[in-house]
Amino acid sequence: MELWVRAKEGEKSVKIQGSLKKVFEEVKEKFNESPQILAFNGTKRERRRFKRELRQAGRNLLKAAENYLRWYKSCKKLFS
């Protein structure tokens, strides 16, 4: 998945690339406040999941990242 974001108006855009988990981890590490989403691209399943997480988080990318990573860890524990 590829995600292009910008922290604030006038700043350079940042490209984050990798799996959905990796993208959300990088967003959480790099940004203190929710960045502006410029574009995203990925497989059909990744795009669907990304949009679903954003809707549930009220269009807040940081909150969506936290929710997804929490869900991912709980699934990992469940199936380990």
**Residue range 10-61, pLDDT digits in tens:** 889 999 999 999 999 999 999 999 999 999 999 999 999 999 999 999 999 9
Q: Within 10 Å of residue 21's Cβ, how many Cβ atoms? A: 15
Phi-psi map region of 55: left, alpha, beta (phi>0 left; psi -120 to 50 alpha)? alpha
Which pLDDT belongs to residue 74? Answer: 93
Report how far apart, in Å, the C-alpha atoms of 45 and of each of 14, 23, 25, 48 are.
23, 15, 18, 5
Q: Residue 28: give the domain boundaries.
A: 2-78
What is d(CA 80, CA 76) in angstroms, rounded to the nearest whole number? 6
Contacts of 19 (CB under 8 A, 6+ apart): 1
**Predicted TM-score (pTM) of this structure:** 0.89
**Number of domains into which the chain is organized:** 1
Which pLDDT belongs to residue 55? Answer: 97
